[in-house]
Amino acid sequence: MERRKFIALLGSGVAGWPLAARAQRPTKILRVGTVGGTPKSSPQWVAFERRMGELGYQEGKNFFFDFLIANADEFEVGYQKLAARAPDVILAIGPEIGLKSALAVTQTLPIVMIAIDYDPLARGYVTSLARPSGNVTGVVFQQVELAAKRIQVIKDGFPDRPAATMFWDQFSADQWEAARSTAAILGLQLFGIELREWPYDYEVALDQAPLDHRGMLVVPTSPFFFRDRARLADFALRHRIVSMFVFREWVDAGGLLSYGPSITALFGRVAEFVDRIARGAQPADLPIEQPTKFEMVVNLKTAKAIGIELPTAILLRADEVIE
């Protein structure tokens, strides 16, 4: 049941990009490279390649996507390998180590960042969102601010549950800090558990939480939590836990709730940045964008399976209810 149609619109005032793109199509092969913590088959990368195709780029004809998969300690080496292959555009995706590693190998090649797990302005990688400095532009997902918002949502939606557990890892440390601070202000007891060695053992992690904190679970976003979205959804379902996630892909996999922007819509937007650069735009001329639309997705089937009735406050706020 779709309550409100979610449309990922970004407030940069550049709605004419696709029309201009069709008017001036680069003729040479465009080489785009990235180092990713999630497989190329993940929904966001499928959305990126689909949008590139809509903009007129065909793999093997006028477009080559050099995709290297990496674990937590492999980003730096991955970007070194990537730079040696001389791409036209580099995508620095996900965690901070992606952008840091990309900037370490080039100060001249255009970099389109997809800052999911950190704030590049607060960390000093760019001096302005409206007028980016150097060779970096792209999209910022605002996950640090949204981590606090998710705590507000579960506190308001489940007032009879005074305690929760939050998993976090090295890539989501900022989200954990924001969530912990907000929980303290709102009076929610939040117990954090850091996952360190991948593959993560969620059973062992939950056993570390106090018994009265195990009924509600908050999971931030990181490359490895996103890889594990089906595992995490199944884990919460088996333990009959109220679960709050970041993107709807977790809820599609069986999680209970998610609140955040559409990751697939924003990766499609990244393709438009790449297209603009391919046609001659400089990163410094392309304002960094932030999502302006957010969606709450609820899985009613999961609610029934774990034996809870979703509060009216949650159902009224939901943009989509999966039955």
Q: What does pLDDT average to in each consecutive run of 10 residues of the chain (323 residues)? A: 40 44 63 94 96 96 95 92 96 93 96 91 92 93 92 94 97 95 98 95 98 97 94 97 97 97 95 97 96 95 95 92 92
* Confidence (pLDDT) at 16: 45
Q: What pLDDT score was predicted for residue 232?
A: 97
If you compute the radius of gyration of the chain from its CA atoms, what whole number of angstroms results? 20
The token pair at 23 is 């008017």
Dihedral of CA 157/162/167/169: which sign?
positive
Q: Are 191 and 213 in contact (CB under 8 A)?
A: yes
Instruction: Kindly report the pTM of this predicted structure.
Output: 0.87
Q: How far apart are CA 64 and CA 224, in angstroms?
A: 26
Q: What is the pLDDT of residue 301?
A: 96
CB 113 within 8 Å of CB 120: yes
pLDDT at 117: 81
How far is residue 306's CA from residue 133's CA, in Å, rounded to a whole number?
A: 49
Q: Are 225 and 199 in contact (CB under 8 A)?
A: no
